[in-house]
Amino acid sequence: MQRGDPARPRGGARDAASRDAADSHLLALKDTFPDKVYLGEINPQYYAFLAALKAQCDYLQQNVYEKQRENITTSIEWKKNDGGIIGTTS
């Protein structure tokens, strides 16, 4: 199956478990890179990579995806129960 194939199963416990394992591996990997090193010509690229890695780890630690999912779920439930109509009176 190709990526984006509608027949491809999405989500599920297995995908979540794989994602969690990859995320925890990434968080552990972050601390293995030295903060100060001189690599000559590739020094700027190394520090760009390190900054991107740290930014991704910060994103994962804040659990932004899960918070967004909870907010959307809450919004959907509110719209189902309340009809999503604001400022109307009976």
Look up residue 17 and give its amino acid. A
Nearest to 53 by CA among 24, 34, 26: 26
Its pTM stands at: 0.53
Whether the per-residue pLDDT at 6 is higher than 70: the answer is no
Q: Are 46 and 39 in contact (CB under 8 A)?
A: yes
Residue spans of alpha helices (H) in the chain: 12-30, 43-62, 64-82
Mean pLDDT of 22-36: 83
CA distances, 31 to each of 21, 24, 35, 43 (Å): 17, 12, 9, 18
Task: Dump pLDDT digits (tens) for 31-74.
Answer: 888 888 899 999 999 999 999 998 888 888 888 778 888 899 99
What per-residue confidence (pLDDT) applies to 87?
54
